[in-house]
Chains A and B, each alone.
Chain A
């Protein structure tokens, strides 16, 4: 069953001669438990597509369903409620709340989703440990390096146990070791059956997906299935070796 389904999805900025078709008639199905990577040149609309899928941006046209609910017409309030249980988002530019510590950033979605303060804290601590930042829990984002912030952002996306994790260049600012760390985390998630949609420009990251979708000028122009070819987990296995 497709957990995420886009049909003729469009997003345009500006008008007249300044019109930009950032996302141009995209049809996309993401199955539950699947890991999909989106690749493409800079400016081709990857972030925009991800924002649309996460309900952070309103499409100009087309249909969008998440867990069989139309989300393209939802009010901002309904979207926010939906995001609590359904979506974990990792922004391209970290986007941590500057005023909150790493730990508080991570626990916020859990609290919003209705978890008790203790449960939320425990889960946040657990996730920070998993991304290797247990000792940075009390730091504010300003006191963290780029890679550390990215890992906090990943932990934050996972804390609410969302149906889908949407990650925009989750390894974009990480060095090789940190990238490996994050990929290992994703592999574990995948093993748990977590649905994952990644935007990346690193082939090493894309290689961990079941499917790689190529985007150009706002449109999906190609697709490679790695799961059948024994890619996927195999790629992770390679990393570990």
Chain B
């Protein structure tokens, strides 16, 4: 018990002492857990609106369409069929008008009494009557049509009698044109030839619907329609999971860098702890506990944020019955917490164990990573201007820190690259839905939602990249605070140490920027594959090289800033703070 108390107390105290870092760690992990939560929540509930709509509308298990109603009558007697309705005659028109909007539509002639299969649920107004049509709800939504509105079909003036939901046809705009129902008499009065006949079919075993559809011409199964009806949810889910993979990969890197940096800082403390008798295992446990605490907090933040954001990011089609806010299942919560812990644990374990193994004397003596000589570079640096010479020597003597910074910079750049790739890919797919099949001016709920999600993921990637860049620069400047203060004591001006340190980061930054491009594309491709998305051909390659100068500028500025700020303080003050 005493050990546990000690571990928790030490971990908490250290976290409080380093609030900013703990916060950044939290943000990095929370970004991943949030997208994961939204993805799982949306994915888990994606089929529910369709299932509910089917249950509420006595939905057919298959829908047959044919130009001749005689074919359908024959199909009604096929084995496995236990019930049918209709066939209903339908007429395709290209001139449905509501107010000043004109759009194509399919008009289906119905009986005023609904049949045994496919009984649309009227959500506003009433069912079809003479002179009164019913508009499919998603279509009505796009048309902004309400009961009582005037509607003109093929030049015939009618009224909207109601708005209804069906599971016998995929809602607009996932299937076009939109659907309206009239009485059979009104359909005839349109004076247009019947395009086809539609027959909803009930099967003895709904699960055989795909086989039934395959065996007969022009028959669609309910499963096939469902996939389209919930397309927005599945697409959003896919985009989210793709983004989650990318974020998780990058968060691991982010956390590893953070932990690595903190460890360098804590190595002194590690020595102290050990000097007062703590075992290596306890030291490792404290480090791990500290980061796992942050991970748990981040998981909680992510679960809440994801749960709160899910309804806003993924709304089922208005053509389906609402099923309320999707729940966060215990299974999803467990997955999210496990991912947060795994990401942090994986990134913390190695440095923690290594820190615990460091001998006490070495840990107390200072740098865990003994500076190594790299004679050629150092000899070369002798010809450089003094500030740069200082910067290069400081960097070369801390090879691990330099490599760590390079790797994390490359990862940061990779985030930006994958964000660019993701965005470019989606922009291409998001070709505006125009043409007579679509209601002009009405937004497309499918692409709109995917857009939102992509925006959120892009934002998360860029935010993480920014956090990471700041961290790296911060670590670099913290690492060099003492040597630069000393250099100032020896006569280097604040400007010189700033320039030297910034310039020394440029070579690794350029390398990192160059590595970032293939790395980012690979992460994106991997994430797409893992998220089950297809395509991926519209990445704006022309934009990608901009990542290199972008990295250089960001690194130079971000490093310069804290060094410059420390340069304003008197030397003795800086040295004392070390």
Contact B386 A111 (CB under 8 A): yes
Contact B573 A108 (CB under 8 A): no
Q: How far is the CB of A31 from chain B (nearest CB, A)?
A: 24
Q: How far is the CB of A66 from chain B (nearest CB, A)?
A: 13
> Taking the complex as formed, is A99 at the interface, i.e. its CB lies under 8 A from any CB of chain B?
yes
> Taking the complex as formed, is B390 at the interface, i.e. its CB lies under 8 A from any CB of chain A?
yes
Binds A, one of B15-23, B74-82, B481-489, B510-518: B481-489
> Taking the complex as formed, is B549 at the interface, i.e. its CB lies under 8 A from any CB of chain A?
no
Of B393, B489, B493, which is within 8 A of A77 by CB?
B493
Q: How far is the CB of B525 from chain A (nearest CB, A)?
A: 40
Residues of B within 8 A of A54 (CB): 489
Q: How many A-B residue pairs have CB under 8 A?
A: 97
Residues of A within 8 A of B482 (CB): 97-98
Number of interface residues of B (CB under 8 A): 36
> Taking the complex as formed, is B571 at the interface, i.e. its CB lies under 8 A from any CB of chain A?
yes
> Taking the complex as formed, is B371 at the interface, i.e. its CB lies under 8 A from any CB of chain A?
yes
> Taking the complex as formed, is A56 at the interface, i.e. its CB lies under 8 A from any CB of chain B?
yes
Number of interface residues of A (CB under 8 A): 33
Name the residue among B483, B491, B570 with the largest chain A CB count within 10 angstroms. Answer: B491
Interface SS of B by simple majority: helix
Of A56, A77, A108, which is within 8 A of B571 by CB?
A56
> Taking the complex as formed, is B351 at the interface, i.e. its CB lies under 8 A from any CB of chain A?
no
Q: A26 vs B567: C-alpha distance in the bound complex, in angstroms? A: 27
> Taking the complex as formed, is A89 at the interface, i.e. its CB lies under 8 A from any CB of chain B?
yes
Contact A109 B570 (CB under 8 A): no
Contact A112 B397 (CB under 8 A): no
Nearest A residue to B378 via CB reads A104
Q: Mark A71-109, 1 if CB is under 8 A from B, else 0.
A: 000001100110111000101000111111100100011
Residues of A within 8 A of B494 (CB): 76-77, 80
> Taking the complex as formed, is A68 at the interface, i.e. its CB lies under 8 A from any CB of chain B?
no
Of B373, B490, B495, B570, which is within 8 A of A58 by CB?
B570
Contact A112 B571 (CB under 8 A): no
> Taking the complex as formed, is B575 at the interface, i.e. its CB lies under 8 A from any CB of chain A?
yes
Residues of A within 8 A of B393 (CB): 99-100, 104
Nearest A residue to B365 via CB reads A142
Name the residue among A77, A95, A99, A101 with the largest chain B CB count within 10 angstroms. Answer: A99
Of A57, A98, A111, A140, which is within 8 A of B389 by CB?
A111
Contact B386 A99 (CB under 8 A): no
Contact A97 B487 (CB under 8 A): yes
Residues of B within 8 A of A109 (CB): 490-491
> Taking the complex as formed, is A10 at the interface, i.e. its CB lies under 8 A from any CB of chain B?
no
Q: A142 vs B491: C-alpha distance in the bound complex, in angstroms? A: 23
Of A77, A99, A138, which is within 8 A of B483 by CB?
A99
> Taking the complex as formed, is A117 at the interface, i.e. its CB lies under 8 A from any CB of chain B?
yes
> Taking the complex as formed, is B492 at the interface, i.e. its CB lies under 8 A from any CB of chain A?
yes
Q: A79 vs B398: C-alpha distance in the bound complex, in angstroms? A: 29
Of B394, B488, B568, B573, which is within 8 A of A99 by CB?
B394
Q: Could you jot down 30 A-B contacts, CB within 8 Å?
A: A51-B570, A57-B570, A76-B488, A76-B567, A77-B494, A80-B493, A81-B493, A84-B491, A89-B490, A91-B489, A95-B486, A95-B489, A96-B486, A97-B394, A97-B483, A98-B482, A99-B371, A99-B393, A99-B394, A99-B397, A99-B398, A100-B393, A108-B390, A109-B490, A111-B389, A112-B492, A113-B491, A117-B382, A140-B371, A156-B490
Binding site for A on B (CB under 8 A): 365-367, 370-371, 373, 382-383, 386, 389-390, 393-394, 397-398, 482-483, 486-496, 567-573, 575
